[in-house]
Chains A and B, each alone.
Chain A
């Protein structure tokens, strides 16, 4: 009964004898009734925009939800060379951007990333570009350098990575202790990059062992040497034995070098290095106090780290700053601290600590760890590479003033964290690729970032590897207000198992033990998939005009029958995740 034209009876004898139907209503193209029409319009999930490394978070969680952890891992590897690392140590800004935070609690994105990475299986298809014959030098084997090397290699270039340390990894190796990032996990991620044919020249310091000018032999250079120069406390008694740099302590322990820890240790500083150094010292048997000039809530270190440190017996001495280190016969006997109170906010927005006159007191100790930040050593760079505020000056994609020289990571980026470094490396790899092909990044840069303010997307750039073979071209980020929350139910976040407290201090074994399969399945279900069609069928079920149909070839998504769609808008309204829009024809 698929007649497309209305029936006209020429003669009364042609008509049926009684009032009855002989055809369908399909000739009646009710699409002519509408003045607005629905469209499927994938939008950017806020987690994707929030991720500094540019992961397709919604995509990988969807694959986990479909029971495909290996595929989820593969999708993560399209954007991020080390999901097993970030799944453990990233400060997960994605979870703060997750829309579910307004509903009950954010999706457990980091735990799921770790789960996917821990279930990695099979080979990666990385050689999808023909070799270009171009050579790139990467200075620094930390996360920024590793990401630049990984992505450049995938883009078909030859890569050599130089690093002064005997092992690759940068701060991942020497700055993050094994109980947060197990050595074998880190080794495996780096080995995978090496297996791609990236050449590592370790124990080679550019500017000392290899002059920077020699790197002109390469077609492009990416500088990501990081920040390893410890900031001095600037107090009397600082020089001499018994006062160590936070990073120095961590590096020695990480590289397996001998280190004699004090019995009573005071760590000055409130960042991750300070807290890590404190917790390592605890494992080496010391009583440890962290001394920080502001309050706990303002400590830059991750909340979970601070909480874990306290659980492990690290004391916090807050609103104090060192004025002098006491020595007796050369050995450290204590640190003099002055109490602070919070005054007006500084340029970071945090309230500036103001010394309280006459409040000095002595904290006995035999070792002081200075962990108040690190700076970059920029001495090896030629003068054309502009510097400012102790960092290399770069644009959004890592271009320095000198053509062919790019930079990223802590040496150039004020946002000093692993995910940001990974993002820097990827952006630079893309910009280098453009440069090597004689193009600029400026004309496409805006089109390949996720949302309006996110990281660059390799899927967008190379037009490959997106989830469900679909690349979200949009800039519009799906906002919480655009979701239809009636279609979601409240569910608690899953808590992964952790090593018992009593066992943690016994050594450097990993503390967080990962989600179980059942937990991961549940955690993946909590994802709203903001802005991306998951074929939940709401539009199909609620359409009163049978005008939204599954594709007959079994392909992903739906067809809107525009001949009949009356433009009522129910499909758009009932889409739980703002993956449709209603607009003019």
Chain B
């Protein structure tokens, strides 16, 4: 038995996620760790649909659906109102996709982070605008296929490093997590809840239709992303103190790429290039874990 995994369900069946959706898993784990005294801010993303249509909801906590770019601002508004009502225990969290975090939502997230609003921000990252049909976003990895970066002209350029951006804001806590490692995610949520200020957790959440994988491989592929160092799992305190939480394995990125149709068009040179980049970023991350701290 996985004793650390909380039993109370705050997400119910009947939701509209695709088979094998990483975002559904992510929400389930996050809510278990957040507990029932939570308000969810939900910008436009897959979860807008997954939570169900009017007049239904698939969650047992309140949801404030909000416009696409407004997560950071809405979080601040709810938090301010709760504080004015004298409620300092109810937690406020955003559950945003990569589009609403990396691209259109970046401004309001940056504003909230700069003001160090006392809120939790979860980005469940399926690496494209999946809800609208798999268009590329700032989170789409280099060389991936999407409908706006077809195989004839795949996405070029690296995935934005949101942790680096938020570390630059010096928020008290920023971390990556992965639906394949639920206990790590839950431990991080619990830890973050006790921290005052802006907390950001970036969760890798595979999308079977968008990544062109079979639904049962969803967790396996997420796991491989971390084990091949493509998506390292680490946390940063105050933008300065780095800890790696999950040791990768000695596996080449090809083991991860080969399972996904969105990378089917890659040549050997492409794979080698990706491997070089992944190795480089890993060395940089290791160096960060050893960098000097302010205090």
State yes or no: do A and B touch (Cβ within 8 Å): yes
Q: Decide: A541 and B19 in contact? CB cutoff 8 A.
A: no
Q: Let me know if A175 is at the binding interface, CB within 8 A.
A: no
Chain B: CB-nearest residue to A38: B216
Tell me the count of chain A residues lying within 8 A, CB to CB, of chain B: 42
Residue A572 contacts which of B56, B60, B216 (CB distance < 8 angstroms)? B216
Query: What B residues does A385 contact at CB under 8 A?
Result: none
Interface of A is mostly: loop
Once bound together, how far apart are the Cα atoms of A542 and B58, in whole Å?
Answer: 18
- Whether A570 contacts B56 in the complex (CB less than 8 A), given A33-B19, A546-B13, comes out as no
Q: Identify the interface centre among A26, A535, A564, A568: most chain B CB within 10 Å of its CB.
A: A568
Residue B56 contacts which of A24, A536, A537, A582 (CB distance < 8 angstroms)? A24
Interface segment, A15-23, A265-273, A368-376, A475-483?
A15-23
Once bound together, how far apart are the Cα atoms of A542 and B183, in whole Å?
Answer: 11
Q: Decide: A24 and B58 in contact? CB cutoff 8 A.
A: yes
Mask of B140-154 contacts with A, CB within 8 angstroms, 1/0: 000000000000000
Q: Decide: A21 and B12 in contact? CB cutoff 8 A.
A: no
Q: Let me know if B86 is at the binding interface, CB within 8 A.
A: no
Q: Let me know if A30 is at the binding interface, CB within 8 A.
A: yes
Chain A: CB-nearest residue to B216: A569
Q: Let me know if B291 is at the binding interface, CB within 8 A.
A: no
Q: Let me know if A29 is at the binding interface, CB within 8 A.
A: yes
Q: Let me know if B75 is at the binding interface, CB within 8 A.
A: no
Q: Let me know if A389 is at the binding interface, CB within 8 A.
A: no
Interface of B is mostly: loop
Q: How far is the CB of B15 from chain A (nearest CB, A)?
A: 6
Report B48-85 residues with CB < 8 Å from chain A CB.
Answer: 51-52, 54-58, 60, 63
Q: Let me know if B24 is at the binding interface, CB within 8 A.
A: yes
Q: Let me know if A188 is at the binding interface, CB within 8 A.
A: no
Once bound together, how far apart are the Cα atoms of A245 and B155, in whole Å?
Answer: 82
Query: What B residues does A537 contact at CB under 8 A?
Result: 1-2, 5
Report B11-69 residues with CB < 8 Å from chain A CB.
Answer: 11-17, 19-22, 24-25, 28, 51-52, 54-58, 60, 63
Interface segment, B90-98, B157-165, B218-226, B275-283?
B218-226
Once bound together, how far apart are the Cα atoms of A33 and B9, in whole Å?
Answer: 22
Chain B: CB-nearest residue to A549: B9
Q: Decide: B216 and A21 in contact? CB cutoff 8 A.
A: no
Q: How far is the CB of B253 from chain A (nearest CB, A)?
A: 17
Once bound together, how far apart are the Cα atoms of A545 and B63, in whole Å?
Answer: 19
Q: Let me know if A313 is at the binding interface, CB within 8 A.
A: no
Once bound together, how far apart are the Cα atoms of A567 and B215, in whole Å?
Answer: 9
Q: How far is the CB of B54 from chain A (nearest CB, A)?
A: 6
Once bound together, how far apart are the Cα atoms of A536 and B5, in whole Å?
Answer: 11
Query: What B residues does A545 contact at CB under 8 A?
Result: 13, 15, 17, 24
Q: Let me know if A544 is at the binding interface, CB within 8 A.
A: yes
Report A280-307 residues with CB < 8 Å from chain B CB.
Answer: none
Once bound together, how far apart are the Cα atoms of A564 and B19, in whole Å?
Answer: 11
Q: How far is the CB of B28 from chain A (nearest CB, A)?
A: 7
Q: How far is the CB of A404 from chain B (nearest CB, A)?
A: 51
Q: Let me know if A260 is at the binding interface, CB within 8 A.
A: no
Query: What B residues does A582 contact at CB under 8 A?
Result: 216
Chain B: CB-nearest residue to A6: B56
Q: Identify the interface centre among A1, A546, A567: most chain B CB within 10 Å of its CB.
A: A546
Q: Let me know if B197 is at the binding interface, CB within 8 A.
A: no
Q: How far is the CB of B250 from chain A (nearest CB, A)?
A: 13
Query: What A residues does B1 contact at CB under 8 A?
Result: 535-537
Q: Decide: A486 and B223 in contact? CB cutoff 8 A.
A: yes
Q: Let me know if B217 is at the binding interface, CB within 8 A.
A: yes
Once bound together, how far apart are the Cα atoms of A582 and B217, in whole Å?
Answer: 13
Q: Let me know if A27 is at the binding interface, CB within 8 A.
A: yes
Once bound together, how far apart are the Cα atoms of A35 and B133, in whole Å?
Answer: 23
Residue B11 contacts which of A28, A546, A566, A570 (CB distance < 8 angstroms)? A546
Chain A: CB-nearest residue to B20: A568
Once bound together, how far apart are the Cα atoms of A1 and B58, in whole Å?
Answer: 10
- Whether A23 contacts B56 in the complex (CB less than 8 A), given A28-B14, A535-B1, A568-B19, comes out as yes
Query: What B residues does A536 contact at CB under 8 A?
Result: 1-2
Once bound together, how far apart are the Cα atoms of A572 and B217, in whole Å?
Answer: 10
- Whether A564 contacts B13 in the complex (CB less than 8 A), given A542-B25, A569-B20, comes out as yes
Once bound together, how far apart are the Cα atoms of A393 and B51, in whole Å?
Answer: 70
Q: Decide: B13 and A570 in contact? CB cutoff 8 A.
A: no
Chain A: CB-nearest residue to B224: A486
Once bound together, how far apart are the Cα atoms of A7 and B54, in whole Å?
Answer: 10
Once bound together, how far apart are the Cα atoms of A25 and B12, in whole Å?
Answer: 7
Q: Let me know if B182 is at the binding interface, CB within 8 A.
A: yes
Residue A541 contacts which of B5, B11, B22, B24 (CB distance < 8 angstroms)? B5
Chain A: CB-nearest residue to B54: A19
Query: What A residues does B20 contact at CB under 8 A?
Result: 544, 568-570
Mask of A520-542 contacts with B, CB within 8 angstroms, 1/0: 00000000000000011110011
A-B contact pairs, 25 of them (CB 8 A): A1-B60, A22-B55, A24-B12, A24-B56, A25-B15, A25-B56, A26-B12, A28-B14, A33-B19, A537-B5, A544-B17, A544-B21, A545-B24, A546-B11, A563-B13, A567-B19, A568-B20, A568-B215, A569-B19, A569-B20, A569-B216, A570-B215, A572-B216, A573-B216, A573-B220
Nearest first, the 9 A-B pairs at minimum CB distance are: A569-B216, A25-B14, A564-B13, A568-B19, A21-B57, A544-B24, A28-B14, A568-B215, A568-B20
Instruction: Given contact pairs A535-B1, A570-B218, enumerate 19 new A-B contacts (beta carbons under 8 Å).
Output: A1-B60, A7-B55, A20-B54, A23-B55, A24-B14, A24-B56, A25-B57, A26-B14, A28-B15, A28-B56, A30-B16, A537-B5, A538-B2, A546-B9, A546-B12, A546-B28, A569-B216, A573-B217, A574-B219
